[in-house]
Amino acid sequence: MFSRGKSRAGVVLPICLGAGVLLITGCTPTLIVSTQATDPKPAVSITANPQGGSGVDPDTQVMIEAELGRLTEVSVLGPGGEVPGILSEDGSRWTAIDSALDYSATYTISAQAADARGRVNTMDASFSTLEPEKFFTAVLSPSAGEIVGVGEPIVVNFNKKVDNKAEVEAALVVRTGQPVFGAWAWRDSRTVEFRPKDLWPGDMNVEVDLNLMGVQAKPGVFGEANTTDSFSFRPSMVSVVDANTHTMNVYKAGQLLRVIPVTTGKPGFETRSGTKVLLTKERSRIMDAATGGTSLEDPDYYRVNAEYAMRLSYSGEFVHAAPWSTGAQGSANVSHGCIGMSTTNGEWWWNQNEIGDVVIVENTPLIQGDDGNGLTVWNAKWDEWLAKSFTGPRLTQPITTVAPQHDSFEFKALGSANNS
């Protein structure tokens, strides 16, 4: 196509707007054709990671890139079919969104890209992943489908010692119905726990992703599988016991339900102060001091049938009905370490609470630490908790996150040289 313009002398000259350039030599125009317009070789190139080979780490994130152009087609096929991925806004990069590849598997890559003039280049490649000789597994608590109280931490127990704690911890994802600020912390080389800075919000669903495929607990020991389990927190139940006022304030979802007269441990048998989590729930239980080493001849020996009993510690602290101490309830501490109340109050409180609910004891001379005598994680100060974490504090991720599927992306081919 041509347009018409004027020279400085007023002579009308042809001006080429196409791929060539017109030069005036004397009176005869000469057409010089751009080499870029006629060069059949595409300017765009395609690279992939991994490009090929065997023994590829399953934790490798597959990526395909186009240089000097944009991708128009991408297909990555593995033993499970098409690998989903996402295309960058400029079309230059495709990234797999799977957290890990399968072990001992072959993947094929097919990609096509076009440059700015619509010329197409293609790439085909394949690679295979390594076959581990050793695996490690994990068990989550609370278990799938459980409904627990707001005192329950999330606990992951591994069947083998974990040396690469930072890598393993980074592969654990907590999703909640509302954002919660918390952190993982290692209790030992096989146990890691997640808790918020404060107690969990109640009445909330939780999902935990253990993305362990491709992750090494120590060199050569790989996570066997990726798993996701879900559980729920029931509405918050927190009971606050004051050993000075001999009362228990019972709160549900932050609202005070009842103030109950109680008795706690007498001198020499003081109930430990701290935040405790209910471990068991029994309609009745024989309390025998001999299990704690008290001889039958000791004046402090006892054997009683305690109704409406819920355990606070492995060493024997319970909340239960104690009709034998009703005269002291609300006025004195006379128990051997348990929190006692009337049978009427004991039955009501037992019916309100479930495993995982919280009892906070205040104003006793003994202080409960994060010593493992029960679920004592809430007694660790926040900075102490973070000192045992390798990835630090974080907000939980949304529980509704859904990864986009590969076939939801639309590749847009560029036009030809005629309309570029």
* 201 within 8 A of 236, measured Cβ to Cβ: yes
**178: confidence class by pLDDT, cuts 50, 70, 90:** very high
Report whether pLDDT(4) > 80.
Answer: no
Lowest-confidence range among 58-72, 174-188, 215-229, 299-313?
299-313
Lowest-confidence range among 109-113, 295-299, 413-417?
413-417
What's residue 41's pLDDT? 81
What's residue 28's pLDDT? 35
**301: confidence class by pLDDT, cuts 50, 70, 90:** confident
Report whether pLDDT(33) > 70.
Answer: no
Q: Return the active site residues.
A: 320, 338
**400: confidence class by pLDDT, cuts 50, 70, 90:** low
**Greater model confidence, 1 or 219:** 219
* 183 within 8 A of 195, measured Cβ to Cβ: yes
Which residues make up the CATH 2.60.40.3780 domain(s) of the chain?
45-131
Across the chain, mean pLDDT equals 86
Question: What are 239's two structure tokens?
Answer: 């009971």
Report whether pLDDT(24) > 60.
Answer: no
> Of 2.40.30.110, 1.10.10.60, 3.40.50.150, 2.60.40.3780, which CATH number belongs to 45-131?
2.60.40.3780
Q: Which residue has the tokens 């002398």?
A: 9
Report whether pLDDT(409) > 50.
Answer: no
Average the pLDDT over 307-329 and give the result: 96
The proportion of the chain whose per-residue pLDDT surpasses 70, expressed as a percent, equals 85
Q: What is the distance between the alpha carbons of residues 330 and 209, in angstroms, rounded to a whole number?
A: 47
Which residues make up the CATH 2.40.440.10 domain(s) of the chain?
135-399
> Of 3.40.50.1950, 2.40.440.10, 3.40.50.1370, 3.60.40.10, which CATH number belongs to 135-399?
2.40.440.10
What's residue 186's pLDDT? 98
What's residue 39's pLDDT? 54
Average the pLDDT over 108-131 and give the result: 94
**190: confidence class by pLDDT, cuts 50, 70, 90:** very high
CB half-sphere exposure, 417, CA atoms < 13 A: 13
**99: confidence class by pLDDT, cuts 50, 70, 90:** low
List, for residues 216-230, the tens digit of each pLDDT value: 999 999 999 999 999
Compute CA 249 distance to the chain's CA centroid, rounded to the nearest angstrom: 34
* 202 within 8 A of 235, measured Cβ to Cβ: yes
**Could you give phi then psi for residue 290, rounded to 5 degrees?**
-65, -30
Q: What is the distance between the alpha carbons of residues 355 and 362, in angstroms, rounded to a whole number?
A: 21
For 127, counting Cβ atoms within 10 Å of its Cβ (0-12 exposed, 13-18 middle, 19+ buried), the class is: buried
Beta strands 172-176 and 20-25, pairing class: unpaired
Compute CA 335 distance to the chain's CA centroid, rounded to the nearest angstrom: 43
CA distances from 233 to 128, 205, 236, 354, 371 (A): 42, 6, 8, 11, 24
**Greater model confidence, 305 or 299:** 305
What's residue 408's pLDDT? 38
List, for residues 230-253, the tens digit of each pLDDT value: 999 999 999 999 999 999 999 999
**Could you give phi then psi for residue 377, rounded to 5 degrees?**
-60, -25
Report whether pLDDT(419) > 80.
Answer: no
**22: confidence class by pLDDT, cuts 50, 70, 90:** very low
The proportion of the chain whose per-residue pLDDT surpasses 90, expressed as a percent, equals 76
CA distances from 65 to 69, 70, 73, 172, 199 (A): 9, 8, 11, 29, 46
List, for residues 37-58, the tens digit of each pLDDT value: 345 688 899 999 998 899 998 8
Report whether pLDDT(402) > 60.
Answer: no
Helix (H) or strand (E) holding 382: helix 382-386
**394: confidence class by pLDDT, cuts 50, 70, 90:** very high
Q: What is the distance between the alpha carbons of residues 272 and 270, in angstroms, rounded to a whole number?
A: 6
List, for residues 53-84, the tens digit of each pLDDT value: 999 988 899 999 999 999 999 999 999 899 99
Report whether pLDDT(195) > 80.
Answer: yes
What's residue 129's pLDDT? 94
